[in-house]
Amino acid sequence: MRVLVVNAGSSSLKVRLLEGEDLIGSYEQIPTEIAPAVEAVGHRIVHGGTRFTGPVVIDDVVEQQLHALAELAPLHQSKSLQALAAAREAFPDVTHVACFDTAFHARMPAKARTVALPRAWRDKYALRRYGFHGLSHAWAARRAVQLAPTARRIVTCHLGAGASLCAVLDGCSVETTMSFTPLDGLVMATRSGSVDPGLLLWLQERENLTAGELTDALEQHSGLAGLADEPDMRALLARTDREARLAVEVYVHRLAAGVAAMTAALSGLDALVFTGGVGENAAAVRAEVGGYLGHLGVDIDQDRNRNARPDARISADGARVPVFVIAAREDLEIAGLCTTLLQPR
């Protein structure tokens, strides 16, 4: 089946036409001219809430329900829905399928997904830790098993403009760093990651901030941008000033601590994966993270790391835990989900 995959992220739009695992074409906008070649369109949708825990065929009702979830992922959902509307208009005669970043985490154990807030709030608003980047984490974990067939306990590090970790046990997500929204967890390009809620309440009162102003600061002006006025990790690694170095150190410190926490959730570590724009391209970040994790059996070979091109093993010979750089292929994950849904065996 030829599937056009529309992947609208927080900072990019990727459109690819695939048949099986073969890439037929790559585009920077919706390619209306290829309509005769398209048999289905698969969309990356960030938030599925509690309603959508797997891929679903999109109709007008489903699209309205997706709009209702936009406030939970404001940086992402609106862009995904804009791309969805454009694609449905461009390809009105083919089936469109929504594939969700939250779905991979939908069956996390209760101890991992439950938030420690009053039951009345949890029940009324379906409060839980949803997790995100599930399409990327699912692909990276599956690819890691192809490269290390005995690996059962895998930590995947999706590091891009947004960043999250996932603890994967036998192909299933059991813990992740993002929570109710994609704002929680690691330091990101412009997002703060985890911050003491008491600090935010204190700031809101002292600065007389509205909820919208606070949201904008946390989503758009924090993270690496807040630390060093620069959201791009490549630019920060090229700088030598104190603020840039501190930003990288904070990023790496939180990332390494997160990997250790994911390892604890798995009761051990059989493989570590770096993926996403930073994960695939920032050898210095991978090296510094590896330096924190020797006690877990991680030993990165510096030559392999420096010269790595996905998909590659960068761990040293004899290292207990294999470490991989794996290309983020959400497009393949989405195309596979669409094919399985529309052409079940």
Whole-angstrom Cα distance, residue 137 to residue 167?
Answer: 9
Give per-residue pLDDT as tens, 270-316: 999 999 999 999 999 999 999 999 999 999 999 999 999 999 999 99
- pLDDT for 147: 98
Report yes or no: 163 and 278 within 8 Å, Cβ to Cβ.
yes
The b/e string for 108-130 (b: 16+ C-beta within 10 A; e otherwise) is beeebbeeeeeeeeeeeeebbbb
Whole-angstrom Cα distance, residue 227 to residue 243?
Answer: 7
Structure tokens at 21: 């695992």
**Which are the contacts of 97, defined by CB distance < 8 A and separation ≥ 6?**
40, 41, 42, 43, 55, 56, 57, 58, 334, 337, 338, 341, 342
Region of residue 208 (phi > 0: left; psi between -120 and 50: alpha; otherwise: beta): left
- pLDDT for 75: 66
Structure tokens at 35: 């309509």
The H-assigned helical ranges of 60-162 are 60-68, 77-90, 110-113, 119-125, 134-147
pTM over 0.85: yes
Catalytic annotation on 299?
no
Beta-carbon neighbour count of residue 212 at 10 Å? 8
Instruction: Tell me how far apart the 2 most distant CA atoms of the chain are, in Å.
Output: 60
Give per-residue pLDDT as tens, 46-85: 999 999 999 999 999 999 999 888 887 776 788 889 999 9
Q: Percent helix, strand and coil across the chain, each rounded to 5?
A: 45, 20, 35
Beta-carbon neighbour count of residue 236 at 10 Å? 24
Digitized pLDDT (tens) for each residue of the chain, 345 residues in all: 999 999 987 667 899 999 999 999 999 899 999 999 999 999 999 999 999 999 999 999 999 999 888 887 776 788 889 999 999 999 999 999 999 999 999 999 999 999 999 999 999 999 999 999 999 999 999 999 999 999 999 999 999 999 999 999 999 999 999 999 999 999 999 999 999 999 999 999 999 999 999 999 999 999 999 999 999 999 999 999 999 999 999 999 999 999 999 999 999 999 999 999 999 999 999 999 999 999 999 999 999 999 999 999 999 999 999 999 999 999 999 999 999 999 876
Whole-angstrom Cα distance, residue 106 to residue 108?
Answer: 6
Structure tokens at 166: 């996932």
Beta-carbon neighbour count of residue 180 at 10 Å? 18
Which amino acid does the sequence have at 15?
V
- pLDDT for 277: 96
- Bridge-based pairing of strands 95-100 and 40-45 is parallel
Whole-angstrom Cα distance, residue 308 to residue 20?
Answer: 26
209, 227, 253 from 190: Cα distances, Å: 19, 9, 17
Catalytic position from the list 22, 59, 60, 101: 101
